[in-house]
Structure 1
Amino acid sequence: MQVTITAVGPDNRGLADPIVHYVTGVGANIHEIQMYDHDSERLFAMFLRLDWPADVEPIPVLRERIMQIGTQKGLTLRVWARDEQNRLPRIAICTTYRSEPAEAVLNAIKEGVIQAQPVVIIGNRDRCQSLAEKHNLDFHNIGDERGNPDNTEMVNLFDSYDVDYVLLARYMRVLPPNICWSFAGGRIINLHHGLLPSFPGFQPYEDAFSHNMLTFGATIHFIIPELDAGNQIIHQNAFAVSPGTPLKEIKRIGETQHEPECLVEGVRRVIDREVELHFHRVVGIETI
C-alpha cells in the first residue's frame, strides 16, 4: 500500500534516522525521500513515499509508532494512505473572493464527475460563506480584517476534518513552506488563473493582455515548497479571443467559464488517479 510520511519541526541532528530505520526494518520499500534543512530558519522537513507492507503491520500501528518518534524528536509527523479507509477522498476547498471555481467542483461532485467528498470550505475572506451554506458545508474564515490568514488554524482544520486533498480554488495567498511540506506528495492542488510558466504572479490576465496576447488560459498544478521548481502541471487549457477584445471581457470569460472548467478537469484527474506527483514531477499512472 502506498503511504506518505511527512515530518516538520525544529532542526537538529539525527531526525531522519529513526524514521527511515523503522520503516525499512518493518520491510517498507522507499520509493522517494526528500529532506529540507534551512539553517537560517532552523527548520527541518522530510517527505517519504513508500510501499508499506500493511499485511505485516497495519497502518494504524505504523501511525502510532511514527507519532512516538515525533514526540521523542520534537517533530510534527503525518502518515497518509489514500487506500487506508474504504471511503471517498475528502476535500477541503480554500477560497478568497471568487466562488465560481469552487462551485464548479461542488457541482461536479454532485453530478458524479468527481468521485470525492467535500467536507469544508476555508476562506481568508467571508465572500464564499454563502456558497458553503448553499451546499450544506461548514465554513471557516481564517483571515483577519486585511485577509491575512492564520496558517496554524488552517492546518488544524485540515487535520480535524481528516482531509485527503487540499484544493486552492482561487485562494489568493501563498502557503508557507511548512504547510507545503506537511501535506507534500501531491495533496495540495492549486488553480492558477494564467498559463504557466509564461504568466505567473497575481495578475496573469493583465500581464498577458499587456503583451498583446490573444490566447489566455488557466493552469491546475500541484503545490510544492519550492515555488519556482516547475513541472507540477496537472492540467492546462486555453481560450482564444479576437483582436480588440477588452480586458474586462477576457477576464469575464476566464473567471466565470474557463477557470471553473479547467479546475474540474484537473481535480478529476487527481481523484481518478490518472496522475500523481513523483520527485516533483507529474507522472501518468499508466507509465509507472
Structure 2
Amino acid sequence: MQYIITAVGPDHRGLADPIVHCVTELGANISEIQMFDHDEESLFSMLTRVELAPGRADELHAAAADISDRTGLSIRTWSPDIVGRKPRLAICATYRTETPRAVLTAIHNGLINAEAAVMISNRQACRSLAEEFDVPWFTIGDDQGNADDERLVSICDEQNIDYVVLARYMRILPPASVWKYAGGRIINLHHGLLPSFPGMRPYHDAYAVRMLTYGATCHFIIPELDAGNQIINQSTFSVSPGTSIDEIVRRGQEENEPACLVEGVRRVVAGEVRLHFNRIVANS
C-alpha cells in the first residue's frame, strides 16, 4: 500500500533523518521525498511517499508518533489506498452555495463515492446547507471572516478526513496547513481557466480581453504556488458576442463551476488521478 507521511514544525537540524530511517527499517520503498525550509516562518516541511506492506501500517503509525514526540514535528501518516470504507470529505465554503450543494448532491446520489463528514466555513452563509444535508457544521471564522487555520486542520484530524474540498472557500491556506495535508489531499475549485486567468476576478479579466469562452478549474493545492501543473478537471462554456458580464458570471457560478468541481472530486475519490512530485498522474 502507498502511504504519505507529512511532517511540519520549527526548523532545526536533523529532522529528516528519523523519518527516512524509520521507513527504511520497516522495509518501505521510498518513491518521493520533498523538503522545504520556509525561512521567513522558520518552518520545516517534509513529504515522504512510500510503498509499505499493509501489515506494517500500525508499526508506521507508532514510529511516526514516537518521532513526533522526540522532535516536536507535527506528523501525519495517510494512505490513499482506502479499504473497507468510503473516503471522508471536509467541504469548505464561504458565501456561495452552488458548488458545495453540487458536491453534497453528487454524494447523496452516489455519483461521488464518498462521505460528507463535515462542512467548515469562515462565515455562516452556508450553514443551512449543512443542516439540509445533515452534515456536521463547524465555523472557524471571527466576526470579520478571518479564519482560524489551525482549527481547520484540527477538525480535519479529529474527523479523520481524507480529502479537503475547497468549494469556493474564499481564504488562502497558509503553507503549514497545506503541508500537513500535502500529497494530493486538498482539492480546490478556481472560478477561471488556469493558467490564463489565475486572479480573484477571472470572469472580469477574461471579459476585459473579449473572450467568448469561460471556464473553471478543479486542481490540487500544493505548498509551493505553481498553478497549472496540478489540474484535475476543467470545464468551459461559450457565449455569443455581446453577452453581458452579469450573465457570464451567472452561468459560470450556477452551472459550470458546480459541474467542474463534482467531476474533479469524483476523479480523485475514484482513484483515477493522483499527485506525484506535484504533477497529476493517471492511476493505472
Deviates more, 1:223-232 or 1:13-22: 223-232
Q: How many percent identity over aligned positions?
A: 57
For the 8 Å contact 2:194–2:227, the answer to whether it is kept is no
Partner of 2:108: 110
Within a 5 Å distance, the mapping from 1:105-184 to structure 2 comes to: 105-184=103-182
2:220 to 211, 219, 222: 222
Quick one: distance in 2 between partners of 1:134 and 1:54? 38
Per the TM alignment, residue 53 of structure 1 is displaced from its structure 2 partner at its CA by 1.8
Asked whether 1:280 is paired with 2:264, we answer no
CA displacement 1:66-97 (0-9 Å, x = unmatched) = 11101101100000013355100000000000
Per the TM alignment, residue 61 of structure 1 is displaced from its structure 2 partner at its CA by 2.4
CA displacement 1:193-243 (0-9 Å, x = unmatched) = 000000001110111111111110000000001113530000011100000
Quick one: distance in 2 between partners of 1:117 and 1:2? 21
Partner of 1:4: 4
| Runs of 4 or more above 2 Å deviation | 82-85
Per the TM alignment, residue 54 of structure 1 is displaced from its structure 2 partner at its CA by 2.4
Per the TM alignment, residue 155 of structure 1 is displaced from its structure 2 partner at its CA by 0.7
Quick one: distance in 1 between partners of 2:227 and 2:107? 31
Per the TM alignment, residue 185 of structure 1 is displaced from its structure 2 partner at its CA by 0.5
Change (3 A) 1:218 1:278: same
Partner of 1:34: 34
Within a 5 Å distance, the mapping from 1:40-119 to structure 2 comes to: 40-55=40-55, 57=56, 59-83=57-81, 85-119=83-117
Which amino acid is 1:144 matched to?
Answer: D
SS at match of 2:54: coil
Per the TM alignment, residue 141 of structure 1 is displaced from its structure 2 partner at its CA by 1.2
Which amino acid is 2:247 matched to?
Answer: E
CA displacement 1:44-81 (0-9 Å, x = unmatched) = 000011101223x2x12211111110110110000001
SS at match of 1:40: helix
Quick one: distance in 1 between partners of 2:54 and 2:147? 38
For the 8 Å contact 2:33–2:48, the answer to whether it is kept is yes
Cα RMSD (Å): 1.0
Partner of 1:205: 203
Size of the aligned set, in residue pairs, is 284
Partner of 1:20: 20
Gapped regions of structure 2 (runs ≥ 5): none
Which amino acid is 1:53 matched to?
Answer: A
Partner of 2:246: 248
SS at match of 1:173: coil
Quick one: distance in 2 between partners of 1:151 and 1:132? 20
For the 8 Å contact 2:36–2:46, the answer to whether it is kept is yes
Gapped regions of structure 1 (runs ≥ 5): none
For the 8 Å contact 2:195–2:227, the answer to whether it is kept is no
Which amino acid is 1:22 matched to?
Answer: C
Q: TM-score, normalised on structure 2?
A: 0.98
Quick one: distance in 2 between partners of 1:153 and 1:49? 26
